[in-house]
Amino acid sequence: MTRGAAFAVSVALVPLCSLTLAGAAAPAAEASPSPGAGPSPTVEPEFRLTDERIQESSGMVASRRHEGVFWTHNDSGAYGPELYAVNEDGDTVATVTLTGAGVEARDWEAVAVGADDSGDPAIYVGDIGDNFQGGWPNVRVYRFAEPADLTDQTVEATTFTLSYADGGRDAEAMMVDPRDNRLYVISKEVAGGVYAAPESLDPEGVNTLTRVDSAPLYATDAAFAPDGSHFAIRTYWAASVYDAADGVEGARIVDRVPLPESDQGESLAFARDGSALYAGTEGPGSPVWRLPVDTGAGDAGGGGGSGDADAPEGGGGGSAAADQGPDPRTASILIWTGVGIAAVVIAGIAVLARRG
């Protein structure tokens, strides 16, 4: 074939590739919310973290033992395995250093409250981050009894090893159901998922995480209400609140809470009375906002109506799967199909040009 013919073929095939990629981009754009897609509330922070050691607050949970106290920790980096108890002024009132077999600060992303084997309040730390998008063969969760006294101390934690049934993935969200103490991990992906751990965790073996539902895209934290009636999953832009009366799987959205703009919002906690969410962000002196939730909005048949940027417009309840709009897996298939066609076209043109 002549060079002119090769050029003509390439010109004819370009629209095909463009159409394929355009078709992929449309659902992908619908599935991926823009930070400006929903109104960000103008709310003054409830408090700011004042401890200079806390530079990347990546998880937060309200203490079960101590009124007005929150537990938080740093993300990955040059940080030790430490948790900080902070009060409602943002001041650190105690530092707890974890020790024990398998304990390390590889990529701490979440913290939750639950119970230990004796039923006493316990803190669960999620070493569940994976910046290699599934490169780690497993992740870990560390559990220790919540201290009765808020003093600086070193405690021995129990290490639980977890592995995803459908392959490794990145995650930044974790929560524990206070009703049955079951742990859940929410992956941080376009087609995110809610993964349930076994009913009881085994410190000796590998605990398999099984996908039980879909989740909003790019989930950065999650939390259960203290009574277990609701749970919330946040992204960088908004939090979705679910009715957990019938469990986590297929839970219905009852409120959507837009979050204030922040540098890198990665923490979420329920207030002790369940009436509000506390949302924080990474960074020095990071702010923490208190945002009321309306968990009764779905009782009349409508959704929360707060305009969650991660969910389709029009209100209405829905499961975690419905919250993320069009299936992002379809977009991925179309995108890679378009890339494949483009690669074949380019290779064909190169061969024909050499022959010409």
Say if CB 209 and CB 197 are below 8 A apart. yes
Neighbours of 227 (CB within 10 A): 12
Collapse the DSSP code of 3 into the 3-class scheme (helix H, G, I; strand E, B; otherwise coil) and give the result: helix
Give how far the C-alpha of residue 147 lies from the chain's centroid of Cα atoms, to the nearest Å. 27
Alpha carbons 176 and 231: distance in angstroms, whole number: 10
For residue 342, what pLDDT is reported?
A: 52
For residue 22, what pLDDT is reported?
A: 36
Give how far the C-alpha of residue 337 lies from the chain's centroid of Cα atoms, to the nearest Å. 28
Q: How large is the average pLDDT for residues 229-247?
A: 97
Q: Sorting pLDDT into bands at 50, 70 and 90, what band is 176?
A: very high
Closest alpha carbon to 330 in 25, 37, 34: 25
pLDDT one-digit tens code per residue, 59-80: 999 999 999 999 999 998 789 9
Tell me whether strands 238-243 and 252-258 are parallel, antiparallel or unpaired: antiparallel
Cβ burial, residue 170 (10 Å; 0-12/13-18/19+): buried
CATH superfamily name and code, 47-291:
TolB, C-terminal domain (2.120.10.30)
Cβ burial, residue 265 (10 Å; 0-12/13-18/19+): buried
Contacts of 221 (CB under 8 A, 6+ apart): 59, 60, 110, 172, 173, 233, 234, 266, 267, 268
Alpha carbons 20 and 124: distance in angstroms, whole number: 45
Alpha carbons 112 and 64: distance in angstroms, whole number: 10
Contacts of 203 (CB under 8 A, 6+ apart): 158, 159, 160
Look at residue 46 and tell me whether its pLDDT is greater than 50. yes
Average pLDDT, the chain: 80
Residue entry with tokens 């993320």: 324
Q: Sorting pLDDT into bands at 50, 70 and 90, what band is 126?
A: very high
For residue 76, what pLDDT is reported?
A: 83
For residue 133, what pLDDT is reported?
A: 77
Q: Sorting pLDDT into bands at 50, 70 and 90, what band is 181?
A: very high
Residue 285: HSE in the Cβ half-sphere, 13 Å Cα cutoff: 0
For the whole model, what pTM was predicted? Answer: 0.76
Q: How large is the average pLDDT for residues 95-106?
A: 96
Q: What is the DSSP string of 214-274?
A: E--TT--EEEE-TTSSEEEEE-SSEEEEEE-TT-STTPEEEEEEE----SS--EEEE-TTS
Neighbours of 177 (CB within 10 A): 18
For residue 77, what pLDDT is reported?
A: 79
pLDDT one-digit tens code per residue, 298-346: 443 333 333 334 443 333 344 544 444 433 333 443 444 444 545 544 4
Question: What are residue 284's phi and psi, to 5 degrees?
Answer: -65, 140
Domain ranges within the chain, ordered by starting residue: 47-291
Closest alpha carbon to 92 in 124, 123, 128, 54: 54
Residue entry with tokens 């957990």: 244
